[in-house]
Amino acid sequence: MSDLLADAEAELYTADPDEFTGRRAELAASARDAGEPAVARQITGLRKPTRSAWVVNRLVRSDPEVRSRIDALAADLREATDGSRIRELTAARARLVDELTRAALREVPAPPAALREEVTATLDAAIADPEVAARLGTLVRAAQYAGFGPGLTFAAPAPAPAAAAKGKTLAPEEAAAEREARRQDQIMEAERGLVQADQDVQAAAAAERDLEDAVRRLEADLADARQRLAEARRQSYRAESRQQRAARELSRLRE
């Protein structure tokens, strides 16, 4: 990637999206003037990010540790096989996503719940999906990961013994091995359910916090509106009183 293109990406994907189109045209023109028509075409082809993608891009580009923290946790999740370790890392994943979401929205005044949800989903997807992680800094839209993610990948169940598959009588040790294999399958399935439930709890808690914040803002707005309404009524009453006095005074003078 040329320096001109890299510089253009760095500027366009951290600047306010409302300025994206105009600034992209200016940067493409500068590249053409510099004798780089191919780079100018590449700049022209850069796509405007949504507000949530821009928030994440800005976070990643302003803090180099964000990407390394995401990559490190993703690697730990891919390597985890023990159920307790998976649950530990899942909790760490939720904490990291919540922390990064708050950091990303720190400079956004009164971020709407929908924006917070998209930022959270994108950061969570970056941990789960290497392709999303690779696009951090140049995201065009919010991302969402529908699967269990790298940290939620379990070893495939051990195949049933060949004798059982053929309907033959199993030796006691073979029968015990099959029962153990089935038990392990059930344990892994239960762990999958627990991990998914943990994620659901974290998502519900985040949604609850967002709604509580929204309710507090609405209650504050309502209280302010009531105060302004009361003041407007007082001013209206005083204005009507002055009008009546003026009318009486005019009537008196005309007599």
The 10s digit of each residue's pLDDT in 142-176 is 998 765 444 443 333 344 444 444 455 667 776 77
| Residue 162 resides in a domain | no
Higher pLDDT among residues 130 and 213, named by residue: 130
For residues 54 and 138, membership in a common domain is answered with yes
Residue 221 binned pLDDT confidence (cut-offs 50, 70, 90): confident
For residues 196 and 124, membership in a common domain is answered with no
| Residue 167 resides in a domain | no
> What pLDDT does 84 receive?
86
| Residue 15 resides in a domain | yes
For residues 28 and 78, membership in a common domain is answered with no
For residues 34 and 54, membership in a common domain is answered with no
For residues 63 and 137, membership in a common domain is answered with yes
Higher pLDDT among residues 205 and 71, named by residue: 71
| Residue 161 resides in a domain | no
The answer on pLDDT for 244 being more than 60 is yes
The answer on pLDDT for 79 being more than 70 is yes
For residues 187 and 243, membership in a common domain is answered with yes
| Residue 149 resides in a domain | no
> Which residue segment(s) compose the domain that 112 sits in?
49-143
For residues 93 and 36, membership in a common domain is answered with no
Q: List pLDDT tens digits, range 115-127.
A: 999 999 999 999 9
Where among 95, 120, 143 does a domain terminate?
143
Higher pLDDT among residues 248 and 165, named by residue: 248
For residues 199 and 139, membership in a common domain is answered with no
> What pLDDT does 76 receive?
93
Where among 48, 65, 81 does a domain terminate?
48
> What pLDDT does 253 receive?
85
> What pLDDT does 216 receive?
75
| Residue 102 resides in a domain | yes
For residues 92 and 118, membership in a common domain is answered with yes
Higher pLDDT among residues 122 and 254, named by residue: 122
In this prediction, residues 171-198 reach a mean pLDDT of 68
> What pLDDT does 125 receive?
94
Task: Write the DSSP string, the chain.
Answer: --HHHHHHHHHHTTS-GGGHHHHHHHHHHHHHHTT-HHHHHHHHTPPPPPHHHHHHHHHHHH-HHHHHHHHHHHHHHHH--SHHHHHHHHHHHHHHHHHHHHHHTTTSSS--HHHHHHHHHHHHHHHH-HHHHHTTTS--S-----S--GGG--PPPPPPPHHHHTTPPPPHHHHHHHHHHHHHHHHHHHHHHHHHHHHHHHHHHHHHHHHHHHHHHHHHHHHHHHHHHHHHHHHHHHHHHHHHHHHHHHHHHH-
The answer on pLDDT for 42 being more than 50 is yes
Count how many domains the chain has: 3
pTM of the model: 0.58
| Residue 152 resides in a domain | no
Report the chain's mean pLDDT, rounded to a whole number. 83
For residues 84 and 115, membership in a common domain is answered with yes
| Residue 136 resides in a domain | yes
The answer on pLDDT for 100 being more than 90 is yes
The answer on pLDDT for 4 being more than 60 is yes
Backbone angles phi, psi at 96, to 5 degrees: -65, -45
For residues 40 and 71, membership in a common domain is answered with no
In this prediction, residues 50-58 reach a mean pLDDT of 96
Least confident among 39-43, 134-138, 191-195: 191-195
In the chain, % of residues over pLDDT 70: 78
Where among 11, 27, 48 does a domain terminate?
48
